[in-house]
Amino acid sequence: VVAALALAENMISDDGYRPSDILKSLSGQTIEVTNTDAEGRLVLCDAMWHVQKTYKPRAMVDIATLTGAAMVALGEEFAGLFSNDDVMRDALEAASHQTGDRVWRMPLDKAFDRAMDSNIADMKNAAATRYGGSCTAAAFLQRFVEKGVKWAHVDMAPVMVARADAPLCPRGATGFGVRLLSQWAQDA
């Protein structure tokens, strides 16, 4: 089991990136910046690529507080679960039921992937529409998954903070995903 933390400082400065910048990812793919607030996925895609090139995993799960759109779609009870592999998705859902770290299956469809196409780069970092934002973010990340690698993306933005005490955690940061991924790894 390998864990990689994709961390970056997000500060305003004179050398910050701007809309219409073209960035080159570790994979060599180019990314048109259409939304400077969609920076987390840029860090995450490079971390995913690094893990694949360095460790050659058969399966990979990323978990991130990636989109406010997941919060709009799922409220505060579920994290969004996207996967390119039905067996892996089912196993993560089973771990979710066992642990109380609740996930909800979300679609990874070609329409969301097409929304990420760019006329001046390999892709955009955010779709032009505000609809389906968690789905287009997952489609963006999927472009960095090598063929043959089973992958799941968990958008935990909806469940990162508990507003009140709950059976599994007190009010505040939830620690969501620790139980989920531990159970999934034990069951694998």
Tens digits of per-residue pLDDT, 128-173? 998 999 999 999 999 999 999 999 999 999 999 999 998 888 999 9
Instruction: Read off the CATH number of the domain in which 124 is found.
Output: 3.40.630.10
Distance between CA atoms of 56 and 94, rounded to whole angstroms? Answer: 25
What pLDDT score was predicted for residue 130?
87
Q: What are phi and psi of 102, to 5 degrees?
A: -80, 130
Distance between CA atoms of 94 and 100, rounded to whole angstroms? Answer: 10
Angle at 107 between CA 7 and CA 60, to 5 degrees: 40
Q: Do the domain assignments include residue 11?
A: no
Q: Which domain holds residue 138?
A: 22-187
What pLDDT score was predicted for residue 36?
94
Angle at 28 between CA 134 and CA 119, to 5 degrees: 65
Q: Which run of H or E residues covers position 61?
A: strand 59-64
Q: Do the domain assignments include residue 16?
A: no
The domain tally of the chain equals 1
What pLDDT score was predicted for residue 9?
84
Q: Do the domain assignments include residue 5?
A: no
Model pLDDT for residues 34-47, shown as the tens digit of each residue: 999 999 999 999 99
Q: Do the domain assignments include residue 91?
A: yes
Q: Do the domain assignments include residue 84?
A: yes
Mean pLDDT across 89-110: 98
Tokens of residue 83, six digits: 């996967």
Q: Do the domain assignments include residue 3?
A: no
Burial class (CB in 10 A: 0-12, 13-18, 19+), 1: exposed
Distance between CA atoms of 154 and 143, rounded to whole angstroms? Answer: 16
Please say whether the dihedral angle defined by the alpha carbons of residues 137, 139, 145 and 151, taken in this order, is positive or negative. Answer: positive
Percent of the chain with pLDDT over 90: 92
Q: Do the domain assignments include residue 115?
A: yes
Token match 């780069």: residue? 121
Q: How far is CA 157 from the centre of its chain?
A: 10
What pLDDT score was predicted for residue 84?
98
Angle at 175 between CA 138 and CA 41, to 5 degrees: 25
Please say whether the dihedral angle defined by the alpha carbons of residues 40, 66, 170 and 181, taken in this order, is positive or negative. Answer: negative
Q: Do the domain assignments include residue 158?
A: yes
Distance between CA atoms of 172 and 40, rounded to whole angstroms? Answer: 22
